Structure 1
Amino acid sequence: MSRIAYVNGRYLRHAEAAIHIEDRGYQFADGVYEVCGVRGGLLMDERLHLERLERSLGELRIALPVPLTALRFILREVIRRNRLWDGMVYFQITRGVAPRDHPFPPASVRPALTVTAKRLNMARVAAAVEKGVAVITMPDIRWARRDIKSVALLPNILAKQQAREAGAYEAWLVDDAGYITEGSSTNAWIVDREGRLVTRPAGPEILNGVTRKVLLAAARQEGIEVVERAFTPQEAKSAREAFISASSAILIPVTAIDGQSIGNGAPGSLSMRLREAYMKVCELS
């Protein structure tokens, strides 16, 4: 079956879906996006994703191209037309199509909306969860507003590629003060020597991941002590456990950082407990 995409009011075969060459997302990375997990044909934490989408748009002064009720329908229609059971829906909004010029175009230019869907290889995700993954650390060279889920991801791409070339799954980015911010496409977590769950607090230095929010709620519901503070690579390497979180895979244990084993080199018990607890708090709709 052919994949189906939504582009500015039309459902098209994925292979034929296209945008104008002067779309500002293509010219300037002038846009935002969201990735919402799909499990059993249902959207995961849709409400939180749409709340963050509205916030990102507000920070960039981009209007919603359609009402939220219409966007919710479009997301479900893309899922339906792709017969998606387990996977993800990607939706992107840019400032629209206008002659290339740095200032905002006239208010009459309508923002552009595209939506695509993709299946996930759940066996591959399960294998990563079971065995754990390796990460490397490297300097964080991204812009200062990482809390906006912008499509401007070139530094993230370079970091992810460096991780792949090093045989690692992810890169943890380190700020000028020597503290880990987050991964190139994930949030970063450790379990410290006292058994507390530690992750960097929300702010402009990191993207406040939706899965991050839900995991924090799940941890507190489970009675796990949570500390939101920055931590260094050195502390992470001496932690009991470490893991990454993202909408695509929820939680994947980290078993090595820069080639050094974490804990006993296997996924930690608190990490696995928290991954199970996530589904008790996650909203499916």
Structure 2
Amino acid sequence: MVFVLAMALFAGAAQAANYTLWVNGRGGGGVVGDYNSFTYWGPASTAAGVNKKAVNWDGYNSISSQNGKIRDALDCFCTGNNWCYVATHSAGDLMMAYTLANYGGSARYKKNASPASGGQCSNSDGTTQTGWNIKWVRTASGAAGGSELSDAGSWALSEPLVKDLKTSTARAMFNHNDTRNIWFYMYAGAKGTVYSGILPGQDDEAVAYHSTGGIAGNAGQSLCNPSDWFCNDLTLGTAANEGGSVKWAYHSVAFRDDAEAYNHYANGNWQGIISVVRAAMVSNAI
């Protein structure tokens, strides 16, 4: 009897796995519900963390209306004995932070990590847990603080997501400090262009440092690299920035683009600031 019980426990442990989830931003592109569709990012054959999965949503409709797609993925791969590493890009940061703040304390059925065509998994044993098993989140050009391109109408104002990405809307949407004690590691690109001059401080053509650095407050701060004398510095880690602005709780700047080498865009090949996060996932999501 003892032997049988031991074998059962061993079988349960053997089924445990780690997964790497990639949550897209505005524009979408991957097939929603297909966790192997990496069209948004680049070739699916590219290494991007252990057991990588593309958590696709349409990148067009509102955060609240599309959020069920993210919860389906987290339920599938981040419950029971399974754990997840999460990577996000741009509006995917807003989506993931919204998910944790609003649903991270809810009861979740443990799932079997075998999704049907719609992206949902079946219950494994009928029991529940509180929230999800997430080790950490790494964010390429996080837009949880919104973007001035949305404020100024530089993006199509007919898109529901663009309304959510207005800086005042994104910052008031939920409690950004409530991450359920899960760390968000921020990767901020700085290869801006002339037209991105409406973005305060340093930017990657689409989102400014005040958002990509996870900075708290009701409006966007003007933050830059140390080489810029006309702007307060975005600091690495959790420390307050030059000038006194602070990061949201459980947010830490892991990478600041001092060389101004990385823009916002994947270009169908894991490029831009996404390339830096992908390399970090390969090294740390194991």
- Where on the TM-score scale, by shorter chain, does this alignment land: which range? under 0.3
Quick check: which one's helix share is greater?
A: 1
User: TM-score normalized by structure 1?
Assistant: 0.26
User: TM-score normalized by structure 2?
Assistant: 0.26
Quick check: which one's strand share is greater?
A: 1
